[in-house]
Structure 1
Amino acid sequence: MFAAGVVFGGAPPAQAADEIVIGLQCDRTGATQVVGVKWCPGYHDYVALVNSKGGIEGHKIRVVEIDHEYKVPPAVEGYERMKKEGAVLIGLYGTPHTYALTQKLTEDRIPGTSPGFGRADATDGTKYPYVFPIAATYWSQGAASVKWAKDQLAGLKGKKIAYLFYDNPAGREPIGVLEDLAGKEGFQLKTFAVPPPGVEMGAQVLDIAQRYRADFVIAHLFGRSPSVSIKELKRVGYPLRKVVSFVWGSAEADILAAGGFAVAEGYAGLQFAGVGTDHPVLDEIRAMYKKQGKQPPEEMASTVYYNRGPFVAAVHLEAIRNALRAKKGGKITGEDVKNGFERIKGLSLAGLAPPDFTLTPTDHEGGGWVQIWQVKGGKFVKAADWFREYRDVVQKHVKESK
């Protein structure tokens, strides 16, 4: 699927002199569509909101989207099409896809973002100047999960922690950090791999609950897998209050697919963007639709994945704004936008982004901040406000990465 702006299908319009093109990769029909069908509309809505106010520094933004179905070859092909369209920035989607495109982005001097996924070593912009995680990487998520487990168990020494993960590069990436933290905190770590497509994990869950007898479970699953894990853990009687999920298993869509909030009581998940409907930027999007005589899109109700769209779009447009302000005339390049990312300082989205969100040439991650939201009383409740933990361990891995 190919899309220009927010209109899907058909030939893309010729590039206007005053417009700036962004390439957005998405999965609306593949293995992780549960994310893409919420996140990507949120991205387009934020761009439409900004365009309705005159764009960025007088320039309208055109988004060229491709649905790669969470497959690498279409992502690579889509990137080349986006490049031909004149894209000065690529919103990546998927860890294998980020690895596949890293060299191309670097050679073409076009920045790509990988919020909450991708390669954690790209935190260091001196090593990977054109890849920007812009949100907590899997290394930071692993560290935050251990901190949450420690708080819930009142200490980790002598405890048994299970790591239940989707067996691909994304799932395996945090293992080194978790192993280091096991040594640091004195807990036993055992890993439980779930082979693709990630919908069969009865044996692993049974092992976690009845043979290993884990004191806590850290889950890193995505697509349909998180809902399956909730159902399986519930089936064997494992208390969901002793489970914390990485950011791709922590949404309303995951809970509903597992049977609803009543089934998932106690289940907790990391978040890198604000959750819920009470955010000023969301009010503005709803007002935009009302002005057009339309109802707000139903995707907005799935706040976890939808809200990440405006967050990512806001970071993208701030980088473009910085690039335009630094280079008069509007003819900005990917390199200009890359420099614009590295000049983002104190970006505020009134709770939708971590406080004082900042990127630098040596920190493309933005600090690695997360929140914890937990299912309580039939809804998500904020259980921990923005925090990060074990930065020494995370930075050691960033520094030692090749």
Structure 2
Amino acid sequence: MRIKGWVTAAVAVVLLTALVMPAMADHVIKIGGQCDRTGPTKNVGVELCPGIHDYIALVNKKGGVLGHKIEHTEIEHGYTVDRGVEAYERLKRDGAVALFDYGTPIVYALTPRHMDDKIPAITPGFGRADSIDGETWPYIFPMAASYWSQAGAAMKYIKDNGAKKGTKVAHIYYDNPAGREGIPIMEAVAKKEGYQLRLFAVPPPGVEMGPQVIDITRRFKADWVVGHLFGQSPSVSIKELKRAGFPMSRVVSFVWGAGEANIEAAGWDTAQGYIGMQFTSIGRDLPVIREIMQKVYKDEGKEVPKYVGGVYYSRGVLNGALAVEGLRLAIQNFGLPVTGDKVRKGYESIKNFDLQGFLPPMTVSPKDHEGGGWVRMYQVKGTEWVPVTDWVRGYREEVMAMVRLVNKK
């Protein structure tokens, strides 16, 4: 009887395993995010969000993440906080284990929810800079240069190009939580280097800045302009500064004023010499972009959109790639089922990830959710962005000191 019972139990285990294994292999992983395709930053969203979709589609065409398909849901929020919160709650109800947040005001509003629900958010190149410290903010992942790191890089660039004690630096910024985020590092570095720094706020929607440009060029007589603008405002600043006779080669933009859409709106001829920073490589010769064009578009008989390989599209590809790498490490190291906390651990296990030269090697840890804070400066030459530096970062000590100060460490 004991032998018979043991055999019966063993057969039951085998049958259960046979049933469970295919189910595990077919397990669909749900992720999601917000997008602005209709609001004030739609010129970013209409290119960035397709980049996420295309990378996920590429991964699924190749069999998914370790055999598991990804289901990605995008919800439009028009860059409004209330709709961003609604989107988050819907995605949570749907079972998403990893999210793409979109917009700094939305990140601040959603941070308590991410922390309570243990669902990690990716916020590359925007959001709250203090979340570099993953020990304080375990579920918020900048995983690209934060606004503090962008400010440090801009100030390093102007120093490397002749700025010295007494140099006049104008910081023109979009007057909302995102636009104001870089100010603490701008002020800290200016104080350290002895620069004369003056701040110029541009009220939303950022389509009128003639008075600010007059102040910058005629009254303050700036030597350099560092811009933290986005949406329609970068192109307006370029046209106004050019009209005032300010040299474009002395205008340095944070990452959201450095896309093709911004330059096309201003005019490539007008923007010649303009400097913008990037946190991914750009162009269609990159291996991952070539693979997307072939497998997601050409193999399906689809025409490749113009924006593929461009600045904002490439940032969407990065978002998708970081999520996939985090999911891969979560499954590999911590097993199924995938949970938000396992994805968090997966993100914190990313080491030397460069997506075949698409970005500088990124390592993420509990102490550094930013991955180093590297950027590369590009310049408008002809009708394209041309790199003018290697991957760099500036004033890292000041950035990390600010992180410790704000997080009371």
Superposition TM-score, scaled by structure 1 size: 0.93
User: What displacement does 1:298 show?
Assistant: 2.8
Q: Structure 1: 5+ residue runs without aligned partners?
A: 1-15
Separation (CA, whole Å) in 1 of partners of 2:52 and 2:306: 14
Which residues in structure 2 correspond to 1:117-266 (within 5 Å)? Answer: 117-152=126-161, 154-259=162-267, 261-266=268-273
The residue identity in structure 1 corresponding to 2:350 is: I
Q: Is the 8 A contact 1:41 1:299 kept in 2?
A: no
What letter matches 1:171 in structure 2?
G
Q: How far has the Cα of 1:57 moved from its partner?
A: 0.6
Choose which of 381, 398, 401 in structure 2 pairs with 1:376: 381
Which residue in the other structure is 1:337 paired with?
Answer: 343
- Larger proportion of helix: 2
Q: Distance in 2 between matches of 1:191 and 1:266?
A: 23
Q: In structure 2, how many angstroms separate the alpha carbons of the residues matched to 1:60 and 1:297? A: 25
Moved more, 308-317 or 247-256: 308-317
In structure 1, what is the equivalent of residue 355 of structure 2? Answer: 349
What is the distance in 1 between the residues matched to 2:109 and 2:383? 40
Alignment deviations for residues 139-168 of structure 1 (CA, whole Å, 9 cap, x no partner): 00000000111122x232110000000001
Separation (CA, whole Å) in 1 of partners of 2:405 and 2:78:
33
Contact residue 31 and residue 224 of structure 1 kept, 8 A = yes
Shift of 1:297: 2.2
Once the two structures are superposed, residues 35-59 of structure 1 have per-residue CA deviations (whole angstroms, 9 ceiling, x without a partner) of 0000000110011000000000110
Give the 3-state SS of the residue equivalent to 2:70 in structure 1. strand
Distance in 2 between residues matched to 1:31 and 1:332, nearest whole Å: 35
User: Retained in 1: the 8 A contact 2:144–2:373?
Assistant: yes
- Whether 2:285 is the aligned partner of 1:274: answer no
Asked if the contact 2:26–2:68 (Cα under 8 Å) also holds between the matched residues in 1, the reply is: no
Q: Distance in 2 between matches of 1:381 and 1:274?
A: 10
> Residue 3 of structure 1 aligns with which residue?
none
C-alpha distance in structure 2 between counterparts of 1:17 and 1:80, whole Å: 26
Structure 1 residue 17, shift from structure 2 partner: 5.9
* 2:388 alignment partner AA: A
| Match of residue 99 from structure 2 | 90
| CA distance in 2 between partners of 1:186 and 1:351 (Å) | 37
TM-score by length of 2: 0.92
3-state SS, counterpart of residue 314 of structure 2? helix
Larger Rg computed on CA atoms = 2
Q: Does 1:47 align with 2:77?
A: no
Match of 1:12 in 2: none
| 1:23 match: secondary structure | strand
Aligned counterpart, 2:396? 391
Alpha-carbon distance, 1:231 to partner: 0.6
SS at match of 2:350: coil
Alignment check: 8 A CA contact 2:175 2:202 kept:
yes
What is the aligned counterpart of 2:304 among 289, 296, 313? 296
1:275 is displaced (CA, Å) by: 1.5
SS of the equivalent of 1:386 reads strand
Aligned partner of residue 379 in structure 2, secondary structure? strand
2-side partners of 1:348 and 1:143: how far apart? 22
Instruction: Tell me the secondary structure at the aligned position of residue 364 of structure 2.
Output: coil
CA distance in 1, matches of 2:89, 2:319: 22
Residue 186 of structure 1 and its aligned partner are, at CA, apart by 1.0
Query: Counterparts of 1:112 and 1:245 in 2: how far apart (Å)?
Result: 25
Listed one character per residue, the Cα deviations across residues 104-158 of structure 1 (whole Å, up to 9, x for unaligned) are: 0000000001110000000000110000001000000000000111122x23211
Deviations 1:247-304 (A, max 9, x none): 0000110000012x11110001010111222100011011111111112123316x00
Q: Tell me, in whole angstroms, the C-alpha distance in 1 between the residues paired with 2:205 and 2:110.
A: 23
Q: Does 1:106 align with 2:106?
A: no
Unaligned runs of 5+ in 2: 1-24
* Identity among equivalent pairs (%): 54
**In structure 2, what is the equivalent of residue 80 of structure 1?**
89
Give the number of aligned pairs: 382
CA distance in 1, matches of 2:298, 2:75: 28
Contact 2:26–2:67 (8 Å) recurs in 1: no
1:327 CA displacement: 2.7
SS at match of 1:285: helix
Q: Secondary structure of 2:92's partner?
A: helix
Displacement of 1:342 after TM fit?
0.2
Instruction: Give the Cα separation in 2 of the matches to 1:373 and 1:82.
Output: 36
8 Å contact kept, 1:23–1:91: yes
- Which of 106, 117, 124 is equivalent to 1:115? 124
Amino acid at match of 1:225: S
Q: Which residue does 1:308 correspond to in 2?
A: 315
Preserved contact between residue 26 and residue 69 of structure 2 (Cα < 8 Å):
no
